[in-house]
């Protein structure tokens, strides 16, 4: 039986680590760290910094691996993602078998919170469903959504209203739903451009929790162009961007 801890590490600031996460870090023998995306150097640096700073109790190994890349979506988005997850599950199985000795604990350091737009839990479930003997626990982390709300000093919901968390892709395809507040993540293409801006308010944040953090908020009609310009400039300067935003009707800013 292999053992693993899935540890939420917060959204960019090492101070986001909870006491529970620090205790969990100190139980890990082998950290399995995916190399992925064009922001991999910055993210890998943060993970190393977290381990250097918080692991005090024991020696550990760090195994970096190349995460299989998602194929271009040809037929269905869901089918493509399932195939991609199956490829990652095979990689995880090999790593857990070859790199983690019996009785040792593996650690996955997951950006933000593991329950939110992250595939690690689904992939470990796939592994277990396929018969791989694995026991794991999840340590929640501070998500980029919580950091966005804190940095803009706003509650996520209007009084008695619901919140929808969605992706840029879905916002562009379906527009706004019925929720009083909509949080948009994974938006590579300024999906807020697809909605009617009149009467909408936006709280936008990029690189939240890091030294490069950028915050813009205001009536969507007034700040949409500014966000687009600032986002393009920041992305060009740094080579990558991670941004999240909250949209709601102007009456409840
Ligand atoms: C793959 S999802 C991971 C979300 C993560 N599990 C969480 O709890 O925040 C990546 C998306 O999260 C958002 N995100 C993560 N970290 C961020 C940050 N520091 N600043 C702004 N947005 C961030 C962006 O929308 C990005 O496209």
Distance (Å, whole) CA 144 – CA 47: 16
Q: Is the CB of 11 under 6 A from ligand 1?
A: yes
**In this structure, which residue's CA is closest to atom 15 in ligand 1?**
144
C-beta separation of 24 from 139 below 8 A: yes
Q: Is the CB of 207 under 6 A from ligand 1?
A: yes
Q: How confident is the model at residue 67 (pLDDT cuts 50, 70, 90)?
A: confident
Q: How confident is the model at residue 43 (pLDDT cuts 50, 70, 90)?
A: confident
C-beta separation of 219 from 250 below 8 A: yes
Q: What is the CA(129)–ligand 1 centre distance, in A? A: 28
Q: Is the CB of 184 under 6 A from ligand 1?
A: no
**In this structure, which residue's CA is closest to atom 22 in ligand 1?**
243
Alpha-carbon distances of 180 from 4, 161, 177, 192, rounded to whole Å: 38, 5, 9, 16
Q: How confident is the model at residue 45 (pLDDT cuts 50, 70, 90)?
A: confident
116 Cα nearest atom in ligand 1: 6
Q: What is the CA(241)–ligand 1 centre distance, in A? A: 10
Q: What pLDDT is stored for residue 38 in this prediction?
A: 54
Q: What is the CA(100)–ligand 1 centre distance, in A? A: 29
Q: What pLDDT is stored for residue 66 in this prediction?
A: 80
Tell me what percent of the residues of the chain surpass a pLDDT of 70: 95
Q: What is the CA(11)–ligand 1 centre distance, in A? A: 7
pLDDT score of 173 more than 90: yes
pLDDT score of 36 more than 90: no
Q: How confident is the model at residue 115 (pLDDT cuts 50, 70, 90)?
A: very high
Average pLDDT for 89-94: 88
Q: What is the CA(184)–ligand 1 centre distance, in A? A: 10
Q: What pLDDT is stored for residue 47 in this prediction?
A: 86
Q: How confident is the model at residue 39 (pLDDT cuts 50, 70, 90)?
A: low
Distance (Å, whole) CA 122 – CA 136: 12
Q: Is the CB of 214 under 6 A from ligand 1?
A: no
Q: How confident is the model at residue 253 (pLDDT cuts 50, 70, 90)?
A: very low
209 Cα nearest atom in ligand 1: 19
Reduce the DSSP state of residue 209 to 3 states and report it. Answer: coil
Backbone φ, ψ for residue 184 (5° rounding) = -115, 130
Q: Which of 244, 245, 246 to mutate to test the pocket of ligand 1 (most atoms within 8 A of CB)?
A: 244
Produce one character per residue of 213-245: b if its CB has 16 or more CB atoms within 10 Å, e if not.
ebebbeebeebbeebeebbeebbeeeeebbbbb
Q: What pLDDT is stored for residue 74 in this prediction?
A: 65
**129-169 tens-digit pLDDT:** 889 889 999 999 999 999 999 999 999 999 999 999 999 99
Task: Kindly report the pTM of this predicted structure.
Answer: 0.92
Q: What pLDDT is stored for residue 13 in this prediction?
A: 93
Tell me what percent of the residues of the chain surpass a pLDDT of 90: 71
- Calculate the average pLDDT of the chain: 91
Average pLDDT for 100-126: 93
Q: Which of 81, 156, 242, 246 to mutate to test the pocket of ligand 1 (most atoms within 8 A of CB)?
A: 242
**In this structure, which residue's CA is closest to atom 12 in ligand 1?**
185
Rg (CA), the chain: 19
């Amino acid at each position: 039986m292999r053992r693993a801890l899935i540890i939420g590490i917060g959204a960019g600031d090492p101070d986001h680590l909870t006491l529970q996460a620090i205790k969990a870090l100190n139980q890990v023998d082998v950290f399995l760290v995916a190399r992925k995306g064009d922001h991999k150097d910055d993210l890998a640096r943060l993970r190393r910094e977290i381990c250097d700073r918080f692991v005090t109790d024991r020696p550990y190994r760090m195994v970096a691996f190349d995460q299989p890349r998602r194929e271009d979506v040809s037929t269905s988005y869901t089918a493509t993602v399932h195939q991609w997850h199956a490829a990652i599950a095979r990689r995880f199985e090999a790593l857990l078998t070859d790199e983690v000795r019996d009785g040792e604990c593996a650690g996955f350091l997951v950006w933000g919170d593991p329950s939110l737009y992250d595939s690690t839990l689904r992939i470990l479930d796939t592994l277990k469903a396929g018969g791989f003997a694995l026991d794991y626990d999840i340590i929640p982390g501070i998500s980029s959504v919580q950091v966005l709300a804190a940095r803009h000093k706003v509650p996520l919901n209007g009084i008695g209203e619901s919140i929808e968390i969605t992706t840029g892709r879905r916002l562009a395809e379906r527009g706004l739903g019925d929720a009083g507040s909509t949080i948009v993540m994974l938006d590579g293409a300024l999906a807020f451009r697809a909605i009617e801006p009149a009467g909408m308010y936006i709280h936008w944040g990029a690189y939240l929790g890091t030294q490069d953090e950028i915050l813009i908020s205001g009536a969507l009609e007034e700040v949409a162009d500014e966000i687009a310009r600032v986002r393009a400039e920041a992305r060009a300067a740094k080579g990558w961007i991670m941004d999240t935003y909250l949209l709601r009707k102007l009456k409840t800013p």
